[in-house]
Amino acid sequence: MTTSTTFRPVIAIHGGAGTITRASITPAQQQAYRDALRDVLQGAQQKLAAGAPAEEVAVEAVRLLEECPLFNAGRGAVFTADATHEMDACVMRGRDLACGSLAGVSTVRNPVRAALALMEAGGPVFMIGEAAERFAQAQGCEMVARDWFSTEQRLTQLRTVQAAALASGREQVALDHTAQSQTQAAPLDERKKMGTVGAVVLDVHGQLAAATSTGGLTNKKPGRVGDSPVVGAGTYAKHGVVAVSCTGVGEAFIRGSAAHTVAARIELLGESVDQATAEVIHRVLPPLGGDGGLIAVGADGEVSLCFNSEGMYRGQIGIDGEALVAIYANEALAPA
């Protein structure tokens, strides 16, 4: 746990981790993802620079990611086996451990905003399904028709996975939201990508917050919930310690209490943010089948963007700096 009295306000984001398909895409297709990450960072930076609290900055970053159909959250969320959408989100504030989580919502335009509203209402901590949607509507969150989230690419992904399941005679799910094709390629293999978005923030007041949102798995069983909205698994923040948002095989991140374990190692063992995240991602989670990654920011502004897959959409920006982004495992953060 850091005792530093100095800190660097910063935002870090992720848009999912997975397998590289670098050889199958054009530079223009790759650049579209880099540009999207840059735009999200710059949009959230405005709130950071204006002095907004960490949770509001994190929610704005995730809201922008939900609005972008390139990522599996909000518009462009994956389809369940019943060709429906079920989205999950969580927000956690470090200074008082306040949090709000939603699961299985399908008419809330920005689930992360509803999670923030739940946190600000002071409880309950976690709501699901239709009751969560009624709460969100009562709080003034924008509601949309169920098909607002749908895109043709996500529907193609569902049909592809279901056809493969029928041919093999085994149930199958895919770890992200769009189908690979000659015209709609992505830098990470969308059939093998952990499709979650998230943000962690250290604000100008030295406060920490984390937010995470996801559409889940393509062809998942209706009602299945992963780690994203589970406090301590996919999302966690504690004052003076760290804020964490995860992306990966949700069941493993739940079993490993991934986000909280990072915080515990920093607070109780005195590890740095880099040390704690590396231990969890490279040693704790792999025996559990925990492919994926996480982003974390410590109380002094130390950022870790750690993953055990071949790539992760990621980026960070300071209060007055340039947006730096990356996709592949062997590349450093750089301007988009």
CB atoms within 10 A of CB 185: 18
What integer pLDDT is reported at residue 220 of this predicted model? 82
Q: Which residues pair with 209 in a beta bridge?
A: 93, 201
Q: Of the listed 196, 212, 214, 277, which one is catalytic? A: 196
Where residue 182 falls among pLDDT bands split at 50, 70, 90? very low
User: What is the percent of the chain with per-residue pLDDT over 90, rounded to a whole number?
Assistant: 70
Contacts of residue 54, Cβ cutoff 8 Å, sequence gap at least 6: 93, 94, 201, 202, 203, 205, 207, 208, 209, 237, 243
Of all residues in the chain, the percent with pLDDT exceeding 70 is: 89
Lookup: tokens for 269: 């063992």
Q: What is the mean pLDDT of residues 115-124?
A: 96
Whether the per-residue pLDDT at 318 is higher than 90: the answer is yes
Render pLDDT for 255-271 as a digit per residue (tens, 0 to 9). 999 999 999 999 999 99
Provide the annotated binding site for substrate: 224-227, 247-250
User: Tens of pLDDT along 18-74?
Assistant: 766 776 678 888 899 999 999 999 999 999 999 999 999 999 999 999 999 989 898
Strand 242-248 and strand 303-307: the pairing is unpaired
| The predicted structure's pLDDT at residue 171 | 66
Domains of the chain: 10-335 (3.60.20.30)
Task: Count CA within 13 A, CB hemisphere, residue 161.
Answer: 28
Quick check: 179 pLDDT over 50? no
Is 60 exceeded by the pLDDT of residue 4? no
Segment 122-171, tens digit of pLDDT: 989 999 999 999 999 999 999 999 888 877 777 677 677 667 767 777 66
Amino acid at 96: D
Per-residue confidence (pLDDT) for residue 29, from 0 to 100: 84
160 is catalytic: no
* Residue closest to 253 by CA, chosen among 262, 243, 266, 265: 262
Query: How much is the mean pLDDT over the chain?
Result: 90
